[in-house]
Amino acid sequence: MPEQLIFAMEVTLNGLMAGVLYALVALGFVLIFKASGIFNFAQGVMALFAAMTLVGIMDGQVPFSHLINAIFGTDLHHFGWHIPALLAIVLTTGVMVGLAWCVQQFVMRHLVNQPPIILFMATIGLAYFLEGLSDLMWGSEIKNLDVGLPQGINLWIDEVTFNIFGYGFFIDNLDIVATIIAALLVVSLMAFSQYTKEGRAMRAVADDHQAALSVGISLNFIWVLVWSLAGFVALVAGIMWGTKSGVQFSLSLIALKALPVLMLGGFTSIPGAIVGGLIIGVGEQLFEFAIGAPYFGGATQNWFAYVLALIFLVFRPQGLFGEKIIERV
């Protein structure tokens, strides 16, 4: 087999894995959009906030220590304990639920019935707020996140592919774990919305706010629930990306990466988010490998996804799996 083809296969596989991670972020967007029609720009910053909180809790960092030190001249930094990862994840989930409640109580409740674009801009404001808050709370330096996920090259795949092609593929263990977790997450979210009372209520709200209200579903509760779920998905995405490349500001930029995924897959479809993520992941890696790096001097990943989505949208404005857009005067 020609060498180029083997490389291309490796690149494709890696692209698939990256695509899963994009899809994970996109999933959070879809959840909120389906249930409340809000396009949540802050999803990426929520992932950053969740990951930072997780690290902070695990290492026993004192929240706002920098600020407290600056005001009172003290020298606080750590409580001096280490909390096991699982407990810390549970605690962080609690924090994200609290955040969801705050968002609903202080922001979204007051913006009911506003045009979607106003809500969108409000979430940009929320993104800025959260970014400042997470920096203020936990400090802005790059942190290592290790919750015990396996990392490094997967030797088994390396060996198998070496025996077949005479060239070992480099696949990160973390990517494989991420894929499995993402699949589990999607299945459990689907089961949740299909088989539980709250999940059904959520779908009812997504379908028609007023009809849902009239049969006695609490909109407030459902929206808090949805934001909490999105917060949890953000936490999972934050753990994955944080383990991969450290918890730092650039984590919030993955939200920008998830936007074309959404446009491709459609804002309202969970399978769309997955398929869109995979297409973008593979597409940008292959484009960089085949055209970007040899002819354009590389780093085409920055814009390829957007341009792909843009071209795609011109022909199918609702995305691959999105509901047909019907406009009335």
Partner 1 sequence: MFYREAGDFKTSYIDDGQTFPIRFDRYRFYAVLAVAFLVVPFIVGDYTANAILLPFLIYAIAAIGLNILTGYCGQVSLGTGGFMAVGAYACYKLMTAFPEVSIFIHVILSGGVTAAVGVLFGLPSLRIKGFYLAVATLAAQFFLVWLFNRVPWFYNYSASGQISAPEREVFGVAVTGPHTEAWATYLFCLVFCLGTGLVARNLTRGTLGRSWMAIRDMDIAAEIIGVNPLRAKLTAFAVSSFFVGIAGALFFAVYLGAVEVGEVFGIQKSFLVLFMIIIGGLGSIFGSFAGAAFLVLLPVILKLVGVNLLGFPTDIVAHFQLIIVGSLIILFLVLEPHGIARLWNVTREKLRLWPFPH
Binding residues for partner 1, per CB under 8 A? 39, 66-67, 70, 107, 110-111, 114, 116-118, 120-122, 124-133, 135-136, 140, 256, 259-260, 262-263, 296-300, 302-303, 306-307, 309-310, 313-314, 317, 327-329
Query: With contact defined as beta carbons under 8 Å apart, do 44 and 29 qualify?
Result: no
How far apart are CB 192 and partner 1 at their closest, in Å?
Answer: 27
* Least distance to partner 1, CB of residue 310, Å: 5
The C-alpha atoms of residue 110 and residue 113 are separated, in whole angstroms, by: 9
Please identify which residue in the block is written with the tokens 């934050």.
Answer: 238
**Which segments of the chain does DSSP mark as H helices, in order?**
3-36, 43-59, 65-72, 85-106, 116-138, 155-165, 173-195, 197-207, 209-214, 219-245, 254-265, 270-287, 293-296, 301-315
* Closest CB to partner 1 among residues 84, 298: 298
Query: Exposed, middle or buried, 50 (CB in 10 Å: 0-12/13-18/19+)?
Result: buried
CB of 140 to partner 1, least distance (A): 7
Name residue 143's beta-bridge partners.
Answer: 247
Q: Which is nearer to partner 1, 117 or 215 (CB)?
A: 117
Task: Using the minimum distance from each CB to partner 1, give the nearer residue, 90 or 299.
Answer: 299
What distance lies between CA 105 and its chain's CA centroid? 23
CA 321 to chain centroid = 19
CA-based R_g, the chain, Å = 21
- Name the residue nearer to partner 1 (CB basis): 112 or 183: 112
What is the distance between the alpha carbons of residues 329 and 84, in angstroms, rounded to a whole number? 57
- In the complex, what is the shortest distance from the CB of residue 42 to partner 1, in angstroms, rounded to a whole number? 9
Q: Which residues pair with 61 in a beta bridge?
A: 78
Nearer to partner 1, 2 or 73 (CB): 73
| Beta-carbon contacts of residue 246 (< 8 Å; ≥ 6 apart) | 142, 143, 144, 145
To partner 1, the closest distance from the beta carbon of 142 in angstroms equals 14
Looking at the Cβ atoms of 136 and 153, the one nearer to partner 1 is 136
CB of 250 to partner 1, least distance (A): 12
Q: Which CB, 77 or 200, lies closer to partner 1?
A: 77
Taking the complex as a whole, how short is the minimal distance between the CB of residue 59 and partner 1, in angstroms? 20
Q: Which two tokens stand for residue 151?
A: 């990392």
Give me the least distance between CB of 278 and partner 1, in Å please: 19
**Residue number, 121 or 286, with CB nearest to partner 1:** 121
Residue among 130 and 234 whose Cβ is closer to partner 1: 130
CB 320, min distance to partner 1, A = 13
Question: Cβ neighbours of residue 195 under 8 Å, at least 6 residues apart?
Answer: none
Task: Read off the DSSP letter of residue 112.
Answer: T
Which tokens hold the place of 169? 């593929």
CA 68 vs. chain centroid, Å, equals 31
